[in-house]
């Protein structure tokens, strides 16, 4: 297996963002960098299983502060690509860079801790809502007092602050997904990856959460990759769309360029056709 552009690791793994006071990693090291630079870059990325090629991506990048939707039919490779970009699955070949640092075995954990992933299922632990956020923060070595403050802050932002002491297992679907998003944002990631997080929610809950999340992403300029099958979700969260078909990125550009200005008025539309 060819792993993460290993030839460049010796140089790029040495790059770190540190706090001048104590030498610890900065919570958001990209703030001083230009929004015109890419935060995430993938080159010649390829993934196989035993019988077929799942994806083959020549080049893909996310600019700082932009939110991009990733769409395509079932089996196109969207979720596998997202998991690979999140450094949770290994490609068979190719290179992934985050903030100019090439991913390799020596820095995977450090780079993963600059990302947050939200899945279709909330994947909450069997403990209180507040403890779910606190646990994630403590794993990333956030001091207990700071973790408690950040956890409560983001629960309030997502409208579930009053549920902090409630057990996660008794939450509704919408409540659980708000907690999952609050957990992701409490980590203060440089890169947010969303894998159909609204697919299992009812229509009113989904629309309310989409509006809240969309406003938050815009105000924070959070770099985001968002996988969805529902095109009506895209304008809430993303200004650009990448279209994946048969393991390749077929189109990538502003929503109007991909779908047309009037695509909301259409009853059906297949962007990979």
Query: What is d(CA 114, CA 188) in angstroms, rounded to the nearest whole number?
Result: 8
Predicted confidence (pLDDT) per residue in 226-266, tens digit:
999 888 899 999 999 999 999 999 999 999 899 887 765 65
Domain ranges of the chain: 34-114+191-200+223-273
CATH superfamily of 34-114+191-200+223-273: P-loop containing nucleotide triphosphate hydrolases (3.40.50.300)
Across the chain, mean pLDDT equals: 86
Q: Mean per-residue pLDDT for 140-165? A: 96
Query: What is d(CA 194, CA 82) in angstroms, rounded to the nearest whole number?
Result: 8
Q: What is the 3-state secondary structure (H, E, C) of 193-223?
A: EEECCCCCCCHHHHHHHHHHHHHHHHHHCCE
User: What residues contact 44, with CB distance under 8 A and at least 6 apart?
Assistant: 57, 58, 59, 93, 94, 95
Is residue 96's pLDDT more than 60?
yes
Contact 155, 179 (CB under 8 A): yes
Res 34: pLDDT? 54
pTM: 0.84
Host H or E run for residue 96: strand 93-98
What number of H helices and E strands is found in the chain?
9, 10
Predicted confidence (pLDDT) per residue in 107-132, tens digit:
999 999 999 999 999 999 999 999 99
């Amino acid at each position: 297996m060819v792993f993460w552009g290993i030839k460049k690791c010796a140089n790029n793994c040495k790059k770190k963002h540190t706090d001048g006071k104590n030498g610890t990693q900065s919570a958001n090291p990209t703030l001083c960098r230009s929004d015109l630079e890419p935060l995430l870059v993938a080159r010649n990325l390829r993934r196989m299983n035993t019988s077929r090629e799942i994806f083959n991506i020549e080049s893909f990048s996310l600019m700082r502060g932009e939110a991009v939707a990733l769409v395509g039919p079932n089996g196109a490779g969207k979720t596998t690509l997202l998991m690979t970009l999140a450094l949770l699955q290994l490609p068979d070949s190719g290179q992934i860079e985050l903030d100019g640092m090439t991913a390799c075995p020596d820095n995977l954990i450090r780079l993963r801790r600059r990302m947050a992933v939200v899945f279709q299922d909330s994947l909450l632990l069997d403990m209180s809502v507040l403890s779910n956020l606190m646990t994630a923060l403590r794993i990333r070595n956030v001091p207990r007092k700071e973790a408690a403050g950040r956890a409560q802050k983001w629960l309030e932002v997502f409208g579930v602050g009053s549920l902090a002491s409630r057990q996660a297992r008794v939450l509704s679907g919408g409540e659980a997904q708000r907690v999952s998003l609050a957990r992701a944002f409490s980590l203060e990631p440089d890169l947010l990856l969303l894998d159909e997080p609204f697919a299992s929610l009812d229509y009113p809950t989904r629309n309310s959460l989409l509006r809240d999340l969309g406003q938050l992403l815009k105000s924070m300029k959070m770099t985001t990759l968002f996988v969805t099958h529902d095109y009506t979700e895209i304008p809430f969260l993303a200004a650009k769309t990448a279209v994946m078909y048969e393991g390749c990125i077929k189109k990538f550009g502003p929503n109007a360029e991909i779908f047309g200005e009037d695509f909301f008025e259409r009853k059906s539309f297949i962007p990979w056709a």
